[in-house]
């Protein structure tokens, strides 16, 4: 045996090789940052109002006419920044949920958070009258009080996560118990939505369904700031816990033996992930699968090292939502597709692929 503390050797698999391996992951982070900026520019350029890149550039640096200014700063920019922060938030929330539950299929929908948020929104629109009909030709249905919808969706989704965490605590936070609790809650909230809609008028049902279409176009600067602050603080918190997550990904016993208070780490991890999800879903509607696709793509590229998986998942989430939102605006322009439908179109097949891969593995 060599002395562990004193002798430093330069073997083929030593520090030098490891540093070069880590360097590749750092390069991945840099590439993703460039991709985010690239797609931000593409996204700002895209839209029904015809603005060429030069005009967009001039608007961004403040030399332009009022019309372009309104289109860029009041319409496109909040939407683009919302895509960046909501994408990052949903993806990093999925990343932490998957780690905490040691389940690659864990996501806001698996935990019933998304169903709970939808129930809250339905309650606001149908019972509290937050949805209405506009007589203009473009949008026949609109949410006239988004904050009631948001608050109800938020309270409902937080209550879901509190119920799940409470139930799970009784069973010592076993990942299976949490997933099962999520499935049960999804059914209960699903039934609640059906009952609400059954006794409601056509107009209110239409308003409720409109809300469930994930749409970045409804967001204002105020809401973008709220989402940004929550997502940023959460990412900083998750980054501080990255070594705990690395330990947790090797199993409960290993994590505990490395000094991790696994119950506490899981509790806060899931609570903050739920907070991000409920805030994003409440302001923007249902945007499914970003929390599943982002971390799973990055897991295949950077591995299960949460020092890199957290920032890269966040960046990949931004890229996915920017691409999906841009595509939603230009595919059949001037009609804007709901971005939630596009992310689900991307995510659904990936979910099925992962399920099939899992089944093959078990065989």
Q: Can you give the binding site for another protein, defined by CB under 8 A? A: 1-5, 7-9, 11-15, 17-18, 21, 240, 243, 246-247, 249-251, 253-254, 256-261, 299, 303-305, 307
* Least distance in angstroms from the C-beta of 244 to another protein: 8
**Residue from 318, 322, 316, 274 nearest 296 by CA:** 316
Which residue lies nearer to another protein by CB, 2 or 136?
2
Judged by CB, which is closer to another protein: 24, or 222?
24
Q: State the nearest-atom distance from the C-beta of 107 to another protein, in Å.
A: 19
Q: Which distant-in-sequence residues (6+ apart) come within 8 Å of 311 by Cβ?
A: 29, 235, 239
Measured distance CA(130)–CA(143) in Å, rounded: 6
Smallest gap from residue 128 Cβ to another protein (A): 46
83 contacts 227 by C-beta, under 8 angstroms? no
Tokens for 306, please give them.
Answer: 């949460």
| Distance of closest approach, residue 126 Cβ to another protein, in angstroms | 45
| Least distance CB 161 / another protein (angstroms) | 25
User: Is the CB of 4 or the CB of 61 nearer to another protein?
Assistant: 4
Long-range CB contact pairs, 354-361, < 8 A, 24+: 354/104, 354/105, 354/296, 355/105, 358/104, 358/105
Q: What is the DSSP string of 95-139?
A: HHHHHHTT-TT--TTTTTHHHHHHHHHHIIIIIS--EEE--SSS-
Nearest CB to another protein, comparing residues 95 and 116: 95
Token reading at 267: 């509790």
Of 313 and 318, the one with the shorter C-beta distance to another protein is: 313
Give the DSSP letter of residue 337: P
């Amino acid at each position: 045996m060599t002395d562990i503390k004193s002798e430093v050797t330069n073997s083929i698999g030593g520090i030098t090789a490891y540093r070069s391996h880590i360097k590749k992951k750092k390069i991945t982070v840099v590439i993703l940052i460039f991709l985010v900026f690239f797609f931000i520019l593409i996204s700002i350029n895209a839209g029904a109002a015809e603005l060429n890149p030069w005009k967009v550039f001039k608007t961004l640096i403040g030399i332009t006419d009022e019309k372009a200014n309104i289109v860029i700063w009041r319409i496109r920019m909040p939407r683009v920044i919302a895509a960046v922060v909501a994408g990052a938030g949903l993806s990093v929330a999925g990343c932490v949920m998957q780690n905490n539950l040691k389940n690659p299929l864990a996501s806001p929908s698996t935990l019933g958070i998304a169903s709970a948020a939808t129930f809250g929104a339905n309650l606001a629109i149908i019972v509290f009258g937050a949805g209405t009909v506009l007589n203009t030709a473009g949008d026949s249905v609109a949410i006239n009080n988004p904050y009631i919808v948001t608050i109800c969706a938020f309270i409902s989704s937080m209550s879901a996560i509190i119920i799940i965490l409470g139930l799970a605590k009784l069973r010592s936070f076993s990942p299976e118990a949490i997933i099962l609790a999520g499935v049960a809650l999804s059914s209960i909230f699903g039934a609640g939505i059906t009952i609400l809609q059954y006794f409601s008028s056509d107009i209110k049902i239409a308003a409720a369904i409109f809300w469930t279409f994930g749409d970045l176009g409804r967001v204002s600067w105020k809401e973008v700031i709220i989402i940004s602050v929550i997502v940023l603080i959460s990412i900083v918190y998750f980054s501080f816990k990255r070594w705990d997550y690395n330990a947790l990904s090797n199993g409960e016993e290993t994590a505990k033996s490395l000094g991790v208070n696994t119950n506490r780490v899981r509790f806060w991890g899931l609570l903050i992930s739920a907070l991000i999800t409920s805030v994003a879903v409440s302001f923007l509607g249902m945007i499914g699968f970003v929390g599943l696709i982002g971390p799973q793509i990055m897991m295949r590229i950077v591995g299960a090292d949460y020092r890199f998986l957290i920032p890269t998942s966040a960046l990949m989430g931004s890229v996915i939502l920017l691409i999906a939102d841009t595509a939603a605006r230009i595919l059949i322009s001037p009609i804007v597709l709901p971005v939630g439908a596009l992310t689900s179109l991307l995510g659904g097949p990936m979910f099925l692929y992962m399920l099939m891969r899992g089944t093959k593995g078990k065989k």
